[in-house]
């Protein structure tokens, strides 16, 4: 397991989490991301309370198995591959206001990436992105960069 300072710091959009739990294929980018985090420990997840709350609410709304949601929540709370941050100011960069918590979390936690399959984050104009010190990438692009 790589030491924390050698792990890549990442904020995962809710659609990546949902993609993992709802995926029926053995190989997918979202499954690879979870393997990089959960099994290989090459990723340091950056979390805020607001993101954890959103993950859990969406997974329950989509009727993901309760034991699976409970295990995921416990992993987020206890793992040394998760860094929890408290949010301050929230930038307004995405056309979806709910996505701004991911940007704020990435800024506060000094993430290297936000991984998203949603168009609202992925299409933030370059002029807006130049203020960020992280890249916003799709799950497939992130997995390719990690190889």
- Profile the chain (147 residues) by mean pLDDT over runs of 10 residues: 80 96 87 94 96 96 95 93 85 68 93 94 83 92 95
DSSP H or E segment with residue 58: helix 49-61
Alpha-carbon distance of 129 to 94, in angstroms, equals 10
User: CA 132, 134, 137, 141 torsion: positive or negative?
Assistant: positive
DSSP H or E segment with residue 15: helix 14-22
CA dihedral 70, 75, 77, 79 (to 10 degrees): 170
Q: Is domain 4-146 classified as CATH 3.40.50.1010?
A: yes
In this prediction the pTM is 0.91
Alpha-carbon distance of 12 to 113, in angstroms, equals 8
pLDDT per position as a tens digit, 104-126 = 999 999 999 999 998 888 988 88
Q: What is the distance in angstroms between the CA of the first residue and the CA of the last residue of the chain? A: 16
Q: Where are the domains of the chain?
A: 4-146
């Amino acid at each position: 397991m790589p030491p924390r300072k050698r792990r890549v710091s990442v904020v995962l959009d809710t659609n990546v989490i949902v993609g993992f739990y709802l995926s029926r294929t053995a190989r997918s980018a979202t499954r690879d991301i979870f393997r990089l985090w959960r099994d290989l420990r090459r990723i340091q997840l950056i979390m805020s309370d607001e993101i954890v709350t959103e993950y859990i609410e969406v997974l329950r709304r989509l009727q993901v198995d309760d034991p699976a949601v409970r295990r995921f929540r416990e992993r987020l709370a206890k793992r040394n591959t998760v860094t929890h941050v408290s949010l301050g100011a929230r930038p307004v960069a995405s056309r979806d206001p709910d996505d701004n918590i991911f940007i704020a979390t990435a800024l506060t936690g000094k993430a290297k990436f936000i991984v998203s399959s949603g168009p609202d984050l992925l299409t933030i104009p370059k002029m807006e992105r130049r203020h960020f010190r992280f890249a916003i990438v799709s799950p497939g692009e992130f997995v390719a960069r990690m190889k």
